[in-house]
Amino acid sequence: MKIEYINLNNKKIKNCFSSVYEQFNALHHHQMIVEQKRVGSSTMQAQPKIALSEIFSSSRNYKITVGIYIKDSNKAHVHDLPEEVLKGWFAHELGHVVDYESYTNFGMISYGIKYLTSKSFKKEVEHKADEYAINHGFGHEIIEAKKYILTSPLFSEDYQNIIRTFYMPVKLVEEKLRSTKS
Ligand SMILES: [Zn+2]
């Protein structure tokens, strides 16, 4: 497990991340960079780091960017989120990384374009990220994170609507969780 933290000193965030990452065995051979910085467009982001010379291969590192504040807020800190919520969020981001593994580096470029231009593609990959998180044992945390985002006044109504439109509904996560347990 190779995790490099950049500008991240908060113990709770680090512990939550490493305990989630531990369960994603298939990703451990990659260098994982976790950087905390101000992000405007989201609270967390998972991206492949691809060198230009590796554009036609599949060798790459990954970077998870963690906002300092919750999206839409300049007061609510990410480190104040409950642990379960943080873990669910990280499991979702690492779910994206598992999905990225099936793309070549060149394929990742069209992935990026499709994500921005196709609503159905966005919905499909957001559902996939949750699915991978559930398969790695984080169904409960995914549910907690969703419930928190959808009910907390820290998140704007616009953001909550995006979550409702593109992300897996709590009910479906619960169903999947039941079927993986049985
Ligand atoms: Zn996502």
Mean pLDDT of the chain: 92
Task: Tell how far the Cα of 116 is from the centroid of ligand 1, in angstroms.
Answer: 13
**Ligand 1 center from residue 57 Cα (angstroms):** 24
Amino acid at 153: P
DSSP sequence for 70-126: -TT-SSSBGGGS-HHHHHHHHHHHHHHHHHHTTS-HHHHHHHHHHHHH-HHHHHHHH
Q: What is the pLDDT of residue 164?
A: 94
Return d(Cα 90, Cα 66) in angstroms, integer.
9
3-class SS at 34? strand
For residue range 53-69, list pLDDT tens digits in order.
777 766 789 999 999 98
**pLDDT(94) > 90:** yes
Q: What is the mean pLDDT of residues 16-44?
A: 92
Q: How far is CA 154 from CA 52, 161, 165, in A?
A: 39, 14, 19
Which 8-state DSSP code applies to residue 4? E
pLDDT at 2 over 70: yes
Give the residue with greater pLDDT, 172 vs 76: 172
Where are the chain's structural domains?
A: 2-181
pLDDT surpasses 80 at 40: no
- The residues pairing with 63 across neighbouring beta strands, listed in sequence order, are 33, 47
Residue 71's pLDDT is what? 79
Residue-wise pLDDT tens digits, 99-134: 999 998 889 989 999 999 999 999 999 999 999 999
Q: Write out the two tokens for 22.
A: 């531990």
97 Cα to the center of ligand 1, angstroms: 10
pLDDT score recorded for residue 182: 60
